[in-house]
Amino acid sequence: MNETQSRRSIGRSVLAVLAGIAVGAALSIGTDSLLRAAGIFPKLGQQMSDGLFGLATAYRIVYGILGSYVIARLAPSRPMQHALIGGVLGLVVGIIGAVATWNRDMGPHWYAIAIAVTALPCAWAGGKLRIMQARVAISA
């Protein structure tokens, strides 16, 4: 691989990871907004019940898997490695978020921990889905 191809591959890798993160974040924020507009979630600044935080955790897990699938799908090579890089970034951001909100009244501690802890399993699941899909396409 020459230097131009290497730079192009690195650029595609970075874009794949950023695109997957953007998909997961946009879906999460969009769903939060829709649930607020529908009156299911309270207005910003008002406390939510644990059940609503559970709902938010559930769809964030689904969106994390989807975002990781997008990363793996767009990756120029090694889809699982790319998905896991996104997962590590999610873990780091989740830990930072948990630390930053720990002594504030911004929801239960379990929610902040769950966001961090689910990042890598979601990344693995999204990468695995892409690998399985690629295998089916090859064998078809």
More confident residue, 128 or 1: 128
pLDDT in tens, 75-117: 999 999 999 999 999 999 999 999 999 998 888 999 999 999 9
- Pairwise CA distance, residues 64 & 123, whole Å: 7
The tokens of 15 are what? 């874009």
pLDDT in tens, 45-56: 899 999 999 999
Provide the domain count of the chain: 1
The candidate with the shortest Cα–Cα distance to 13, out of 68, 65, 74, is 74
pLDDT in tens, 11-34: 999 999 999 999 999 999 999 999
Please answer whether residues 21 and 76 qualify as being in contact, where contact means their C-beta atoms are separated by less than 8 angstroms: no
DSSP 104: S
The tokens of 63 are what? 């969106």
The candidate with the shortest Cα–Cα distance to 56, out of 69, 41, 37, 38, is 41
Range of the domain at 15: 3-139
Q: Report pTM.
A: 0.92
